């Protein structure tokens, strides 16, 4: 059995036709996002559960819950990649679209 590794959608298209199984691992974008956030001075508070206790944990720590806001996912990635500053209070308000929190 041959094991091959690739990077990105081009590699997936090249490797997939000859593969019995293709596994996609998307950890680098997460770790990169955390790294960029921390380097920019943002505190990251990990929490292992994706249930109602996560929201309570975020509230107890005056934090923004980073899951469950799909409308902000693409915008958040762009803001992190470009190190764009946002107003923390507006970014934490679920009723405010993330792009509206840009300073």
Task: Report domain extents, the chain.
Answer: 45-101
Give the pLDDT confidence score for residue 20 in this predicted structure: 73
pTM of the model: 0.41
CA distance 33 to 81: 8
Give the pLDDT confidence score for residue 71 in this predicted structure: 63
Give the pLDDT confidence score for residue 98 in this predicted structure: 78
Phi and psi angles of residue 96, each rounded to the nearest 5 degrees, phi first: -105, 120
Give per-10-residue mean pLDDT for the chain (103 aa).
69 80 65 77 81 84 73 72 79 77 83
Give the pLDDT confidence score for residue 33 in this predicted structure: 73
User: Residue 60: CB partners within 8 Å, gap ≥ 6?
Assistant: none
Give the pLDDT confidence score for residue 72 in this predicted structure: 64
The gap from C-alpha 52 to its chain's centroid, in whole angstroms, comes to 19
């Amino acid at each position: 059995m041959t094991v091959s590794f690739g990077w990105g959608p081009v590699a997936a298209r090249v490797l997939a036709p000859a593969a019995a199984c293709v596994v996609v691992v998307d950890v680098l974008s997460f770790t990169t996002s955390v790294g960029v956030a921390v380097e920019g001075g943002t505190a990251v508070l990990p929490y292992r559960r994706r249930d109602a206790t996560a929201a309570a944990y975020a509230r107890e720590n005056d934090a923004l819950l980073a899951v469950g806001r799909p409308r902000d996912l693409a915008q958040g990635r762009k803001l992190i990649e470009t190190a764009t500053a946002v107003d923390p209070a507006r970014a934490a308000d679920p009723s405010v679209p993330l792009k509206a929190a840009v300073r």
